Structure 1
Amino acid sequence: MTEVFPRQKPDRRFLPDIPSKQHTRRLTGPRYFSQGQADVYSADGKYRYTSGRTVDISEGGMLLVPDKPLRVGDKAVLRFFLSAGTMPEGFESFVKLPARVVRVDSASGHVGFEFANPLSQYLHRKRWRYFETGSLLGILLALIGVWFIKKESIFYFWFDVPVFLYGLCAIFYLLSRFFFAALYRPYKVTPGYQPSVTIVIPCFNEEEWIEKTIHGCLNQLYPEELLEVIVVDDGSSDNSVAVARAVRDKIYDEAGDRLVVHAFPENRGKRHALAAGARMAKGELVLFVDSDSFLQPDAVLHVVQPFHDPHIGGAAGRCEVENKWTNVLTRMQAVRYFIGFRIFKAAESIFDVVTCLSGPLACYRRTVLMRYLDAWESQTFLGRPATFGDDRSLTNFVLGSHYAVYQHTAVCNTIVPSTYGKFFTQQMRWKRSWLRESLRACKFMWLKEPFMAISFYLGLILPVMAPVVVLRAFVFMPAAYGIWPTMYLAGVLLMSILMCTSYLLLKRSNLWLYGVPFCFFYLFVLLWQIVWALLTFWKSEWGTRASKYDKSTAMG
């Protein structure tokens, strides 16, 4: 399956954004390849002069191959449709914008247009502000609906105590997440605070994405002398090592020895690759980045800011879905990821207790990491090596002595499963690791801030109890008493609307609607993985990319 995401046009330099490499052709920000059509109208917009094929586009302009000749200085009105996946999320829209010709290449037929106003300014005036107003109204209506459901639940409480008690607890838990997330603020950039950073990329059979991952890690708005990147290949059977070494050789003049490629002779497991990179690291902070995740140019600058506080041992950045436009499944995941980070992790960060510093972008204070590295690398569960859930496990170690927080302004994009087979396998792996590590966290979470402790234990009990409650509401009560779960379904719908409208408010994107089907997809499909995870939580195989190491540990 072809993954759909914005394809950025390469710059003259491989690393154009680092502070010492600002000589770049980009005058109006990144340019993206485009394969659409654009109509060129007269300056007053009354008649169409010509049309043409778009070559690339940015916030400030467009490169076009018109059917008729144009001259430098010509003014026009451009009409075109930005299809989903051409530019970053939120830009998908019909556009009608004044522009002028600033460049004509007679050899290629390319004509460069400069927009009268940046696309973001145009879209805010024509589209985004209406999204924001509509989302606020939607949030208000959803909250009114939730209040009504809660009132009805209290009234009918004694008719079905288990279901209504569960519903009240679930509403309290979810609304508290939204409330605390609204209070969250990211850490501001402290001038002059630039600790040295080592980025570790564990790699296993990622030849398709590893070059883009390396590029994102090195192309940072951060002093190059304070940043190094270590790629640890975990015995890949494809060309991952060759691609990584080719990148190292290609950019040696720009990056020097800041990129190190280390390859295991055989597969040992992701956790061992991360540990090997950590032991090789020289930086004050160690940043783990998955091999199919791509940092934004200012990600490192922002993710280091929380560490100005010596009590903080780890920080997670925000993870967006790169291939969100591929199909319905990836679109649902895009909404889920954003809510998971901006709402749930942000709420936890209020109490300095983020329960999972997610693998795509997780930063650790090196002294703290090294303290727990051996125990983490050799962790076992019921006598078997723990081969997945590395991020949640390491977070538990850190929370034993330090704070773990969320930094919303540190952003990376990651490739998510675009087929249901891989997605279900990934979700099963995540649920098993969540259960295992949540049981570990139970031992110390009661020592944290009381409200955070209550929220944590609720967050563990509610999903485990959910299958029983759903069976009672959807099967037992209708069969035994003829009572249908109308209020239960209404509650799920209202909470999904609250999630969707929050996404619309913050992202101003057409994807917001996919939050509703995801909630019901979770209720009727993903929820039941909890049962199998409870019955098989000791299993340790990876699933989506099973290796010789995973298979050998799974067999004991």
Structure 2
Amino acid sequence: MTSHPALTARVHRSGTVLAAAITLVAAALWAAHHGITAATYGDETGSRLAAVWAITFLLLLSQTLMYHCERPRRISARGRRQLDALNVAVLLPVYNEDPGYLRLGLQSFLDQTRRPTSVHVVDDGSTSTDYAQVRAWWLRAAREAGIRTTWQRTPNAGKRHAQATGVYASPDADIYVTVDSDSCLAPNALAELLVPFARARVQSVAGIVLATNHRTNLLTRVTDLWFTTGQLTDRSALSAMGAVLVNSGPLAAYRAPVVRDNLESYLGETFLGRPVAFSDDSLLTLYALLRGRTVQQPSAIVFTALPEKASHFARMYMRWMRGSTIRSVWRMRYLPVTGYAYWAHLLRWFQVALSTAVLGWLLVVEPVRYGNLPPASFLVVPFLIGQAQALRYLGVIRSDERMRQRAVTWLLMPLAVAGSWTLLRAMRWWGVATCARTGWGTRQNGAEVALAPAADPRPVQPQAQLASR
């Protein structure tokens, strides 16, 4: 198999990005004020809109200040030696994954500047292949690299049970690292992911997820832009307070007791009498929140394959929204009301409800009941806010992409904003209404995204191929 240059990335902090974000938010505020003033609405309606915009911008301002307070954690040489002594076990469940992506991820463990102590691969009854070639290569390569490893095939029981099989195989682990079968870690990802654990109160750490196939088509470009921006704004703001609500599946780490002590409830979760197969990452994060701080490490980067078809994306997003609804019930029940995470969670739902109500009011109630068209600010403000937040996307420096290429993707933010305000909003509420559908729903017929084989060993990198030496 032909190898490719290792893919790397870093999140660049820039005062220019902050200044530009503040400028665009100020412009959005001015546009809102101008639109309300120029509209034909009466004083009562104008006052209502002014109140809504004021609340929105106060929330945006506080979030902007908070996510710029996030810093990658650093430690001393002594602290690094203590972290190097930790037993770190990687849990890698596999189900109908493309063999190319699976090997890509396994190779990235070998290329780590701080290698894991052990890697536990569990094939959860895949029906598309038995991975015989990848398995033989990995067992040999891991042994030569000094990484303890197991590779087990079990009857299909779901991702959580596959992870649990890995937990049972590593009872001496200090840290569990959860990854997906298409995760490809940057060379320093594991070393950086462990750094926050130098603080005893930190119970879980999330990595930053970027796309391997982000230039495949318009869908992957916009999804990468939307997803990366969300991690570097919303989740960064929560991280600054030690209250990350959801870690990403492609890369996260937990203190071993967080996983072991809750394994029975993790495997046996039910909702409305039905077993829950998804939302595993958010449940592990909730367990961690109940014990201490949950943070994000912006310098720990992982690459993953995004959906390349609309149907695949829709199934993934609906799974997320149904899981988010279920997890919200548990957060309201179990999180202490004295903690920041509890109120951050409620505030998020308030923002969703408020924005949905405003959308319905301006597009339906005002035209039908009062004969007023939406104000000009409605057509301007969301897009200015989106472009301002997406400046964080430009702060990600990738080894496989020049800045002008990322700038082109940044210009697509209006598509992401329009989609989130319409289609994704409708899907979110449909997910709330159908949250009792707790099945996984993807890869039932095999891999949905495949890594094309390399055509040339020279350093020419096809857009969908990002691998490591």
Same-fold call, TM cutoff 0.5 = yes
Residue 466 of structure 2 is matched in structure 1 by none
Determine the structure 1 residue equivalent to 2:359.
470
The answer (yes or no) to whether the contact 1:477–1:483 under 8 Å persists in 2 is yes
In structure 1, what residue type is equivalent to 2:332? C
Corresponding residue for residue 280 of structure 2: 390
Question: Aligned with 2:100: secondary structure?
Answer: coil
Aligned-partner Cα distance in 2 for 1:473–1:395? 37
After TM superposition, the structure 1 = structure 2 runs for residues 404-419 of structure 1, keeping only pairs within 5 Å, are 404-419=294-309
Give the deviation of 1:147 after TM superposition: 2.8
Q: Which gives a bigger RCO, structure 1 or 2 (Cα 8 Å, sep 6+)?
A: 2
Q: CA deviation at 1:252?
A: 5.1
* 1:314 to partner: Cα distance: 0.8
**2:230 counterpart of 1:362:** no
Higher mean C-alpha displacement, 493-502 vs 195-204? 493-502
CA shift, 1:419, in A, is: 0.6
Alignment partner of 1:214 is 2:106: yes
Distance 1:138 1:240, change over 3 A: farther
Within the alignment, does 1:483 sit opposite 2:372 as a pair?
Answer: yes
Is structure 2 residue 144 aligned with structure 1 residue 254? yes
SS in 2 for 1:209: helix
Taking a change above 3 Å as real, the CA distance of residues 181 and 140 of structure 1, as seen in their structure-2 partners, is: closer
Change (3 A) 1:146 1:171: same
2:182–2:304 CA contact under 8 A, matched in 1: yes
- The 1:235/1:162 distance shift into structure 2, 3 A limit, reads farther
1:443 aligns with 2:333: yes
Which position in structure 2 is the counterpart of 1:51? Answer: none
Residue-by-residue CA offset, 1:511-537 (whole Å, 9 max, x unaligned):
211222111111121111122112111
Secondary structure (helix, strand or coil) at the match of 1:304 reads helix
- Give distance in 2, aligned partners of 1:528 and 1:161: 28
How big is the shift at 1:217? 2.2
1:544 corresponds in structure 2 to 442
Q: Distance in 1 between matches of 2:434 and 2:49?
A: 27
Higher mean displacement: 178-187 or 150-159: 150-159
How far did residue 446 of structure 1 move? 5.2
How far apart are the structure 2 equivalents of 1:136 and 1:218? 37
Letter of the aligned partner of 1:479 in structure 2? V
Is residue 32–residue 378 contact of structure 2 (8 Å, CA) maintained in 1? Answer: no
Task: Report the counterpart of residue 429 of structure 2 in structure 1.
Answer: 531
Q: Secondary structure at the match of 1:174?
A: helix
Q: Structure 1 residues 279, 219: CA separation in 2 closer, same or farther (over 3 Å shift)?
A: same
The answer to whether structure 1 residue 343 and structure 2 residue 225 are counterparts is no
Letter in 2 for 1:202: P
C-alpha offsets along residues 454-477 of structure 1, whole Å, 9 cap, x if unaligned? 432120222245434312211221
Per the alignment, residue 83 of structure 1 pairs with none
8 Å CA contact 2:92–2:122 kept in 1: the answer is yes
TM-fit CA distance, 1:342: 1.6
Tell me how far apart the structure 1 counterparts of residues 293 and 76 of structure 2 sit (CA, whole Å): 19
3-state SS of paired residue (1:493): helix
- Counterparts of 2:142 and 2:390, CA distance in 1: 45
Of residues 397, 421, 428, the one that matches 2:311 is: 421
1:366-381 paired onto structure 2 within 5 Å = 366-381=256-271
Matched residue type, 1:213: G
Q: Distance in 1 between matches of 2:262 and 2:36?
A: 47
Equivalent runs, 1:14-413 vs 2, <5 Å: 30=5, 138-149=20-31, 151=33, 158-159=44-45, 165-191=51-77, 192=81, 193-194=83-84, 195-206=86-97, 207-222=99-114, 224=115, 227-251=117-141, 254-255=144-145, 258-264=148-154, 266-281=155-170, 282-413=172-303
| Structure with a larger share of its residues in helix | 2
Which amino acid is 1:215 matched to? Q
Amino acid at match of 1:521: G
Does the aligned pair in 1 maintain the 2:222–2:415 contact within 8 Å? Answer: yes
Task: Name the structure where strand makes up a greater proportion of residues.
Answer: 1
Structure 1 partner of 2:417:
519
Secondary structure of 1:315's match?
strand
2:96 maps to a residue whose letter is N
User: What is aligned with 1:494?
Assistant: 384
Q: Distance in 2 between matches of 1:154 and 1:447?
A: 37
Distance 1:494 1:351 in 2: 26
Q: Secondary structure at the match of 2:108?
A: helix
**Residues 1:278 and 1:158: Cα distance change in structure 2 (over 3 Å):** farther
CA deviation vs aligned residue, 1:184-228 (integer Å, no higher than 9, x gap): 111114421312210110100113311111111232111x5x621
Aligned-pair Cα RMSD in Å: 2.9
Change in 2 beyond 3 A, CA 1:324/1:465: same
Q: Displacement of 1:163 after TM fit? A: 5.4
Given the superposition, is the C-alpha separation of residues 197 and 252 from structure 1 closer, same or farther in structure 2, using an over 3 Å criterion? closer
Question: 1:165 offset after TM fit, Å?
Answer: 4.5
Deviation at 1:283, TM superposition (A): 2.2
Map of 1:53 onto structure 2: none
Determine the C-alpha separation between the residues in 1 that align with 2:18 and 2:290. 39
Distance 2:436 2:137 in 1: 39
Counting aligned pairs with the same residue, the percent is 26
Q: How many residues align?
A: 425
Q: SS at the partner of 2:265?
A: helix
Determine the structure 1 residue equivalent to 2:3. Answer: 10
Task: State the shift of 1:325 in Å.
Answer: 0.4
Question: SS of the counterpart of 1:199?
Answer: strand
Distance of 1:402 and 1:135 partners within structure 2? 32
Amino acid at match of 1:538: A
Could you tell me how far apart the structure 1 residues matched to 2:296 and 2:441 are? 28
TM score, norm. by length of structure 2: 0.83
Q: Distance in 2 between the 1:363 and 1:246 partners?
A: 27
Question: What letter is aligned with 1:171?
Answer: F
Choose from 313, 321, 324 the match for 1:434.
Answer: 324
Shift of 1:233: 0.9
Q: Is the 8 A contact 1:477 1:484 kept in 2?
A: yes
Question: Looking at CA atoms only, which structure, 1 or 2, has the larger radius of gyration?
Answer: 1
- C-alpha distance in structure 2 between counterparts of 1:324 and 1:400, whole Å: 35
Amino acid in structure 1 at the alignment position of 2:127: S
